[in-house]
Structure 1
C-alpha cells in the first residue's frame, strides 16, 4: 500500500489506518524529516513493514522512484492513495503566479505523474486500486480560493478520465474521495494573501473519517462515482449547479464569516514551495488556538 502525501492530515491518517491492518506500507512525502515521524507512527500502529521515500510528486521522476522502491520490497502494488496537496488563499488577481501554478501542479500534474507510473504496474498485475483524494472544491468554486478550486477541478477531470480509460481492465479501479472541511494542518500552512488568518469552515470533520472511507474503498472500490465525505457537500453542490445566482450572492459573505478570522495575517506562500516538517501531523488546531495562529516560516 502506497500513500503519497503521507506525513500530514488525511494522508497520515490513511497511512496509520492501513498500518492498523498490519499492512506493508510505502510512504512518500516532500519531507524526509516528517517521513521519519510518519514511519514511527505506522510502526506503532502495527504495520508489518514501512518504507519511505522523499519525493516531490510534481517532479515527473518522483513517482517513478516511489514505484521502483515499492516493487523492490513487496514486489507488487495493491493500493495507491494520492493525498498530496497544497492550498492557497487569495484572489486570482492578487496571488503570485508561481504560487498559483504550484498549487495547481501539485494536484493535477502530481496525479498525472503518479497515475502514469502506477497504472501500468496494476495493468500488468490485472489488479490494483488507485485512490485520489479530491475535494468539495472539485465541484464548486469559492471566491479567494481560485487556485485550490482550479487544482481540484483539474484533478477531478484527470481522475474521472482515468476511471473511463481503465474500464478495459476490470481488476483495476480508480476511485475518487471528495472531503468537505477536515481538521488538518493544510489550512494553517496555506499560502495566504487575504490579509486575514484562515480556518476550516464549519462543519469540520476529523481526518480519520476520510481515512475510514479510503480503507473501505481499498476493500470495495467504487469506480464510477466520487465518494463525498461531509454532510453538507450534496447541498452545496446542488446550490452551485441549480441556483447559481443565489449561490454567487451568498458564497462571498459566507466565506468571510466561516473561513476568515479577525486575526491579521501577512502575505505568505506558506508551504506551497517547501514543507514545514515540524508542523506536519494528523490534526489541525481547530477550534483555533492562539499559540499556533501564525504564518508558517518561509
Structure 2
C-alpha cells in the first residue's frame, strides 16, 4: 500500500551518522519533519542544520536508546512538537570485533543493549502512538547478519538475529491493525563509519567485508519502506548470496567463512584493544559514508569473485542435495 509522502513526521533513532543520518537528510529533502535521536548533541545539531537547509523541519532529542525511559520521552517529544508520528526508523547500532572469548562481557552486553534492546525500546514507545493514530510504519535496520553469522562479531550477530525475530513477531501480532506496518531492511556491508567506530579485540585493524554497499542504496530502501511497506527489503546482492549459501549448505559455509573473514575483513596493520563508541559517542567521524568504496576497489573485486565462487559452490551443493532427495 502506497502512503502519502507529504509532510511526514519521521523519528530516526541513530541519526548522527551512517544510514540514520542519510535517512534524516533524505526525508528532510522532501519536506518531512524529522526527529533526530542519538547520544551526541553536537553531531545531532549539525545533522539538524543540514536537514533544515535541505527543506525540512528538524527536532533534536539527544537519546541513549538503551534507556527505555529516554526513548519513551523521545516519542512524547515528537508528538508534542509535530502532533503525530508517521514513521519510526530504528537505525541505532554499535559494533564490536573480536573472538567471543576475547570480547569483554560489558562490551558484549552493551552491543546487544544498543543494537537489539534499543530497537525494542523504540517499538514499545511508538506502537501505542501508531495504534492511537490507526496507522504508522516501523522500520528496523536489521542487517544481513540477521540471517547468517561469521567469526569475530558474536554480539552483533546475536543482536541482529534477535531483531529479525522480533520484527517478524511484531508483524504477526499487528495483523489486527492493518494500518500499521513493520518492515525489516537487511543490507550487507555498508560504507558507513560504524567500522571505524567499532570496538576491536581481534588484534588487527578492520574493514567492511567487500564488496561494500553505498549507504545511499540503503537510505533509498528505508524511504521506500515508509512509502510502500514491505516485510523484508534486501540491499546488496553479494552478501545475500552468502546468506543463501549459509542456508543451503551450512557445513560448507562454516568451513569457508573464517578464512574469508581473515582475508577480506581484517587488515594487516595491528590494532590495540579498544572500546570504540560502544559506551560513548565518537564525534571524530560522523558522516553518512566513510570512503571504503573509494579506497578498497581491488580488494572488493577479489572478494566479489570469491563470493561468486562460494555461491556457485552452494548452488551446486544444493542441486546435489535435491537430486538425492528426489
Radius of gyration: which is bigger? 2
Q: Which of 23, 30, 38 matches 2:39?
A: 30
1:206 CA displacement: 1.2
2:200 is matched with which residue? 192
Q: CA RMSD in A?
A: 1.1
DSSP-derived class of the 1:201 partner? coil
2:277 is matched with which residue? 271
1:287 CA displacement: 4.7
DSSP-derived class of the 1:235 partner? helix
Give, in whole Å, the separation in 2 of the partners of 1:61 and 1:244.
41
Give, in whole Å, the separation in 2 of the partners of 1:287 and 1:188.
14
Give, in whole Å, the separation in 1 of the partners of 2:268 and 2:53.
39
**TM-score normalised to structure 2 length:** 0.86
Gaps of 5+ in 1: 290-298
Runs of 4+ aligned structure 1 residues displaced above 2 Å come to: none
- Answering whether residue 85 of structure 2 is matched by residue 62 of structure 1, we say no
1:285 CA displacement: 3.0
1:262 is matched with which residue? 268
Q: Which of 17, 23, 34 matches 1:8?
A: 17
Q: Which of 126, 147, 167 matches 1:159?
A: 167
1:111–1:158 contact (8 Å) kept in structure 2: no
- Answering whether residue 99 of structure 2 is matched by residue 91 of structure 1, we say yes
Give, in whole Å, the separation in 2 of the partners of 1:31 and 1:278.
11
1:217 CA displacement: 1.0
1:288 CA displacement: 7.8
- Answering whether residue 238 of structure 2 is matched by residue 229 of structure 1, we say no
Gaps of 5+ in 2: 1-9, 296-326
Q: Which of 95, 104, 129 matches 2:112?
A: 104
**TM-score normalised to structure 1 length:** 0.94
1:278 CA displacement: 2.9
> Higher helix fraction: Structure 1 or Structure 2?
2
Aligned residues: 286
2:212–2:293 contact (8 Å) kept in structure 1: no
